[in-house]
Amino acid sequence: MQLVQNTLDRFVSSGQIAGYAARIMRSDEVLFEGHGGCANLEKKVPMADDTIFAIASMSKVITVAGIMQLYEQGLFKLWDPVSAYLPGFKHPSIARENAEGSVEVLPAKGEVTMRQLFTMTSGVPYAGKENAAARIRLEKEEEQMARGVSRPQTVDYCNWVGQLPLAFEPGQQWMYGFSIDVLGAVIEVLSGQTLGDYLKEHIFDPLGMQDTGFYVPREKLDRVATIYHIHDSMKPADRKVPTEKPLFEGGGGGLYSTVRDYSRFAQMLLHGGSLDGVRILGRKTIDLISTDHLTPAQQATHNWDTQRGYGYGLGVRVMTNPEIADINGSVGEWGWDGAFGNWFCVDPKENLTCVYLTTNLPGDHYRFIPKLMASMYASLD
């Protein structure tokens, strides 16, 4: 794995990233485990095996695993309307921007389903400026903040989001958004536990993921890696690390973890839902998660640079065409990434997992991940 080492070290030595931690396993053997650069540049704290990272959207796959446990128990169906569990999603509307720039809010023709949340075809946006629905949500969020209203608990907050307009008719297209956070709220409704408590009891503790959760205890704060603006002279990002259980536990992006913790989660996925005698999910459930679920019309809007050659399963990318992706990998490789440059993959064909954690803002995955993948796959016998 010298190629991998050289590639990752070059990311650091060239000043493109502050640091990294990575782990590659094949057939249950560690092929590569390394770290480089700094967890904190100002204090010259080096990266380590137990450095804790904000994993952002790599949280999504853990949330998907959690709710699919409830699916296996027969507590919901994928085609159920979300309003069966979160009444705020009853009677949805759509924000449609007209040619002259005005926005019209119209009743939706159908309700958002659980399946559409999993596949990012729900139309539930993040707050932002990408479309009319995202802008409306951003305005509402800012109004709440101006009034000093703090974000409520997970279920209440997601019910509030459900009353805001969607970006399009449910199921019409693919759009990355708030969908998996909503699934986290459904976990709370179905289990009677907070999302964090549920994941700890049913995933983290059984897998021995001791450093994974929605907050970092004060005694572990010195192990947290700082996020850096990689296009602004490595200026530290102004992000407060929660040290107590938050009211809103964001299943779409709120978790902290280490490379070894997340590697255990990835190995569980590779092994069909079990690891070291502990079963988290069934083998056929893993197959369902890692199958491309997009229709041709939805695939047409699944058009990020990092998603070329991939379809989309239940909260994960799924490799369908390595030639289009320009990656020397395998059909069926799957996984996801996070906003701060984090990335992981499960490759059943090669019996391989890779977890790569870093601290980039923005993530700029397209600059780094294809190079890492090229070096990793080139290193296999």
- Residue 261's nearest CA partner among 291, 294, 220, 230 is 220
Domain of residue 168 covers 71-190
Edge-first strand order for the sheet with 228-229 is 235-236, 228-229, 360-361
Q: How many domains does the chain have?
A: 2
Residue 201 is classified by DSSP as I
269 and 361 in one domain? yes
**CA dist 93 → 154, 173, 187, 326 (Å):** 22, 16, 24, 39
214 and 358 in one domain? yes
Consecutive H or E run containing 373:
helix 365-378
> Two tokens at 287?
């197959």
- Residue 353's nearest CA partner among 274, 283, 265 is 265
Q: What is the CATH number of the domain that holds 298?
A: 3.40.710.10
pLDDT number for residue 283:
98
- Residue 4's nearest CA partner among 47, 33, 28 is 33
Whether 10 maps to a domain, the answer reads yes
114 and 204 in one domain? no
Could you say which of 190, 209, 225 is where a domain stops? Answer: 190
Whether 66 maps to a domain, the answer reads no
245 and 144 in one domain? no
Whether 175 maps to a domain, the answer reads yes
Beta strands 310-312 and 317-319, pairing class? antiparallel
Cα 346–chain centre separation: 14
pLDDT number for residue 100:
79
> Two tokens at 156?
């209440």
- The residue assigned the tokens 């019910």 is 159
Whether 337 maps to a domain, the answer reads yes
Residue 359 near residue 340, CB atoms below 8 Å? yes
- Cis-peptide, bond into residue 362, ω within 30° of zero: yes
Could you say which of 190, 211, 226 is where a domain stops? Answer: 190
223 and 156 in one domain? no
319 and 205 in one domain? yes
Whether 199 maps to a domain, the answer reads yes
199 and 146 in one domain? no
Whether 360 maps to a domain, the answer reads yes
170 and 44 in one domain? no
Angle at 216 between CA 268 and CA 85, to 5 degrees: 65
Whether 63 maps to a domain, the answer reads no
301 and 346 in one domain? yes
Could you say which of 173, 190, 207 is where a domain stops? Answer: 190
Residue 248 near residue 216, CB atoms below 8 Å? no
What stretches in the chain show pLDDT beneath 50? none
352 and 205 in one domain? yes
> Two tokens at 223?
């192990």
87 and 46 in one domain? no
Residue 309 near residue 322, CB atoms below 8 Å? yes
Whether 81 maps to a domain, the answer reads yes
Sequence-distant (6+) residues with CB within 8 A of 4 are 22, 24, 32, 34, 372, 375, 376, 379
Question: 105-157 pLDDT, tens per residue?
Answer: 999 999 999 999 999 999 999 999 999 999 999 999 999 888 887 778 999 99
Consecutive H or E run containing 19:
strand 19-26
- The residue assigned the tokens 């279920």 is 155
Quote the CA–CA distance of 54 and 339 in Å, as a whole number: 9
Consecutive H or E run containing 191:
helix 179-191
DSSP 212-272: -BSS--GGGGGGBPPPEETTTTTEEP--PPP-S--SS--TTT--EE-HHHHHHHHHHHHTT
Residue 50 near residue 256, CB atoms below 8 Å? no
223 and 364 in one domain? yes
